[in-house]
Amino acid sequence: MYRYQELIFGTILVLILSISLGLVAGSPGSYLGFLLASLAVGYRSHGDLLKGAVQGASCAVLAGVVFMAFMFLMTLIAGYGPGSSMMEMGVLAMIIGLMVDGLIGSVGGALGWFLGTKWL
């Protein structure tokens, strides 16, 4: 059974790490935050490889949706900001961004599961 506290924990961790590393290292740091947080979620999943990958991807995609909603609101209210360039690219670019987030999350979740089973 899927544990929702892992989803909430992972999403919050993705948001914190992605924002903080993104401020330091830009876009690669933001993606590194996605990878590290999903690695932690996969490490904490006590199931099989698929469960670790799905939990990592779910956290990353949910955090990506939160980021997009925030960028949309920032662009709607202020008309400029970090989200305005993303909003100009359109819906297709946002979908591709969510797919990249999910891919990074699933890889991190699978690696975290592997590390968790290797060192338990």
Instruction: Please state the rounded mean pLDDT for residues 74-100.
Output: 74
Is the model's pLDDT at 2 over the cut of 60?
A: no
Rounded CA separation 31/22 (Å) = 8
Contact call for residues 36 and 104 (beta carbons, < 8 A)? no
| Distances in whole angstroms, Cα of residue 81 to Cα of each of 1, 6, 87, 102, 105 | 40, 32, 10, 25, 26
pLDDT, greater one: 83 or 37: 37
pLDDT, greater one: 106 or 1: 106
Give alpha helix (H) positions in the chain: 4-25, 27-44, 49-78, 84-89, 91-119
DSSP 81: S
Is the model's pLDDT at 80 over the cut of 70?
A: no
Counting residues of the chain whose pLDDT is more than 70, the rounded percentage is 87
Give pLDDT, residue 119: 67
